[in-house]
Amino acid sequence: WNDRGWPSSSSSSRSICLYFKSPEGCKKGAECRWWHTDEAGSRDPKDDFSVHFNAGWKAQLADFYGSGQNSQWGDKPNAKLRLVPCAFYQLNCCYYDATCQFAHVPVDKEENIKTTLCAQFWRSGSCAREPCPDAHRKEELETPKAFLGMPGFKACLCTFHIVGECKDDPCFNAHGELDVRRLPMAVPRSLAREEFMFSDAHVHLDHVLYSRRYGAYWFYKNQTCRKIKCPYGRKCLFLHPPQERQFRPVDVSDFQELAAEIKAVHGTFAGCVHNCCDIGDIETAVRLVQWGREFLEGKVYVTFGVHPSTFEDFTPEVEERLKVALDKCGKQAVGWGECGLDYYRRMDDIEDDPSVRERMQDVFRRQALIAVRRGLPLVVHSRDAEEDTLAVLYRVVPPTHPVHLHSFMGSVKTLNEFLRRYRNGFMGVAGVVTYDGVQHHQGGLSELVRALPLDRLLLETDGPFMAPSPYRGEESHPGHIPWVADGVAKLKNVTAAEVLAAAHANFRRVY
C-alpha cells in the first residue's frame, strides 16, 4: 500500500471496494475483485466522486492525447501522456499509483498566475490594485501546470463553489462567470461556406440549462441516488433521504440565452428532440416545449419515458403523468423514451439481486408497448445489454415500427441485426465520434459508424454530455451538431454537408 492507502502497482486489482467501507460491508469477502482496506481518506465531498470517476476522466485524457487506449488498463503507456502531470495526483486522489499513464510528479504551486478575470476592471473599466493579481484581458489568462492539456479547464461553473463547499486551489472548474472560459460558437471549416440544416435527435435540454447555470455537478444533492445500497453513504453526491433536496430552478431567461446561441450558429437550426426520462422533470419538459414555441419557432420537440437506471420509478401513477404531459405538448410530443436496459449502471444491484435485471426488462417491455399502441417512435437506451434489448424489441415491437437506438456503443453484429429487423430503425451518433480515440483507431464506435448506412443515421448531442471536440469539457447542446457531423464525415470519407443532409432527412422521417 502506498502512503495514501491505495493499492500499489503490484496489485492485480487496482481500486478499492467502496462497499467494504460502507456500513453494511462487502458481502463478497475474499472473492471480491476490488481491494479491501480502511486506509483511504477523503478531503471534501468531491473526493469520493473523484475516485469513482478517475477512470472516466483519464480515459478522456488518453483519447485527447491519442493514446489509442480507452482505459488505464493498457500495458504500454503512451510516451506523450507520461509528460503530462496527473491532475488527480496533485489533488491527492489518484488511485492508479505507478500504473497511472500520467506523470506522478509534484507540480510547484505557481505564484501570481492569472486564472480569472478582474471583476473590478470588467465592471468599471479601471482597477485600483497595482499590480492586479487577476487578468484585465482574456489574452492574459493562464492555465496552471497541473491542468495543462486537460480538456475543459474552466469550461463549466464549479457547483461546489456555488454551494460554498469547494476547497480546491486551484480548482479545475470556474468560480463565477468571470472565471468561465468557453470557446466561441463556430462550425467546422468544411461547413463555413455551405448552406445546411441541422437537427439534434436526442438532447436533455433541462440538464443543459441546469449545467450552464449551476455547474457540471448540478445534480449534487438534487437528484436521488439510484443505487439500492450506495457505498458512498453521506458523501455521495446524490440525494439520500432524509437529506433535504437542494432545488435548482431554471427560468425562461436561461432558455432564451441558449436559444440565441443556437440560432447564431451558421446554418439553419431545424429542431431538436428533448428527452424527458426523469419523473422529477416532467413539468419542466412541458415548459421547455412552450418556451420553444415562443423563442425557437416551435422547433423543440419532446419524448417522455423512464430511464432504465431508474426503472423502479415507472409506476401506474407515473405512467399516467407521462401520458398527460405527452398530450399537453400536442404536436410537439413525438416519441416515447428514452427507455431500455442498462446493466452497467445497475451492475452492483444486479449482482446482489438478479431479479433487478428481470424487472428492468419488464418495465422496458411495458414502455415499448405504450409506444406501439400510441404509434410513437421508440427511443431505446441499451448499455451492456445488447442481446436482451433485441429480445424485448423482437417480442413486442413490430418490424415496421420506428425505433431510435440512441447513442449505441455495442457491436456491429447487433447493429446489423437491428437494422435488418427494423426497416425504420435508426442509430444515433453523439459527440464522442469526434474524439481522437475514435477518429484514429479501429474498432468500437469508429467501426459502428463506418458500418452504419447514411440513410439510417441520426445525429445527436445527448447534451449536456459528450460535447464534441473542440468543445470538450463544456455542456453540449444542439448548436454542436455540425461538429458531430464532421466527425462522422471523416470516418465515412464523405462531406459533412452530406452527413447533415442525410441525418436531417432521417430526423424528419422518424419524428
What digits encode the pLDDT tens for the residues 12-52?
Answer: 333 456 555 555 667 666 666 555 654 433 333 333 433 33
Q: What region does 275 belong to: left with phi over 0, alpha with psi -120 to 50, or beta?
A: beta
**Which of 111-125, 175-189, 352-366 has the highest mean predicted lDDT (pLDDT)?**
352-366
pLDDT score, position 42: 36
**Residue given cell 480569472 in the structure block:** 116
- Cα–Cα distance list, 394 to 365, 382, 386, 477 (Å): 10, 14, 12, 33
pLDDT score, position 23: 55
How would you list the strands of the sheet with 197-203, edge to edge? 197-203, 268-276, 300-304, 333-342, 378-383, 403-405, 425-429, 457-459
3-state helix, strand, coil in the chain (%, to 5): 45, 10, 45
3-state secondary structure of 268: strand
**Considering only 84-88, 101-105, 258-262, which range has the smallest mean pLDDT?**
84-88
Q: pLDDT band at 149, cuts 50/70/90?
A: low
pLDDT score, position 74: 35
Q: Is 99 in contact with 162 (CB distance < 8 Å)?
A: no
pLDDT per position as a tens digit, 455-510: 999 999 999 998 999 998 899 999 999 999 999 999 999 999 999 999 999 999 99
Q: pLDDT band at 229, cuts 50/70/90?
A: confident
User: Does the pLDDT at position 73 exceed 80?
Assistant: no
How many Cβ atoms from other residues are within 10 Å of residue 267's Cβ? 18
Q: Where are the alpha helices (DSSP H) in 329-473?
A: 347-352, 355-374, 386-396, 412-421, 436-439, 444-451
pLDDT score, position 208: 96
Q: What is the 3-state secondary structure (H, E, C) of 410-437?
A: CCHHHHHHHHHHCCCEEEEECHHHHCHH
pLDDT score, position 11: 30
How many Cβ atoms from other residues are within 10 Å of residue 422's Cβ? 21
pLDDT score, position 239: 86
User: Does the pLDDT at position 71 exceed 50?
Assistant: no
3-state secondary structure of 242: coil
Q: How far apart are alpha carbons 141 and 155 in whole angstroms? A: 13
Query: Angle, nearest 10°, between helix axes 386-396 and 355-374?
Result: 40
pLDDT score, position 99: 65
pLDDT score, position 247: 84
User: Does the pLDDT at position 279 exceed 80?
Assistant: yes
- Taking residues 154-162, what's their average pLDDT? 90
Answer whether the bond into residue 170 is a cis peptide, omega within 30°.
yes
pLDDT score, position 249: 87
pLDDT score, position 255: 96
Q: pLDDT band at 135, cuts 50/70/90?
A: confident
pLDDT per position as a tens digit, 396-422: 999 999 999 999 988 999 999 999 999
How many Cβ atoms from other residues are within 10 Å of residue 164's Cβ? 6
Q: Which long-range contacts (CB under 8 A, 24 or more apart) does 173-177 make?
A: 173/215, 173/216, 174/116, 175/116, 176/116, 176/119
269 or 473, higher pLDDT = 269
Helix (H) or strand (E) holding 275: strand 268-276
- Taking residues 178-184, what's their average pLDDT? 87
- Taking residues 215-222, what's their average pLDDT? 89
**Lookup: cell for 366:** 411495458
Q: Which long-range contacts (CB under 8 A, 24 or more apart) does 50-58 make?
A: 50/88, 50/91, 50/93, 51/15, 51/16, 51/18, 51/93, 51/95, 52/18, 52/232, 54/15, 54/88, 54/93, 54/94, 54/95, 54/96, 57/88, 58/88, 58/96, 58/100, 58/101, 58/102
pLDDT score, position 175: 87
- Taking residues 72-96, what's their average pLDDT? 57
Taking alpha carbons only, the member of 49, 48, 96, 50 closest to residue 69 is 96
Q: pTM score, two decimals?
A: 0.82
Q: pLDDT band at 97, cuts 50/70/90?
A: low
Q: How far apart are alpha carbons 233 and 263 in whole angstroms? A: 43
Cα torsion 232, 237, 238, 244: sign: positive
Q: Is 396 in contact with 364 (CB distance < 8 Å)?
A: no
Taking alpha carbons only, the member of 67, 70, 4, 71 closest to residue 35 is 4
User: Does the pLDDT at position 61 exceed 90?
Assistant: no
185 or 66, higher pLDDT = 185
Mean pLDDT of the chain: 83
3-state secondary structure of 317: helix
pLDDT score, position 6: 28
166 CB-near residues (< 8 Å, 6+ apart) = 44, 46, 158, 160, 175
Q: Is 198 in contact with 485 (CB distance < 8 Å)?
A: yes
- Taking residues 49-58, what's their average pLDDT? 42
**Which of 180-189, 225-234, 298-307 has the highest mean predicted lDDT (pLDDT)?**
298-307
Q: Is 78 in contact with 66 (CB distance < 8 Å)?
A: yes
Q: Is 232 in contact with 40 (CB distance < 8 Å)?
A: no
**Lookup: cell for 467:** 460535447
377 or 174, higher pLDDT = 377
CA atoms within 13 A on the CB side of 347: 4
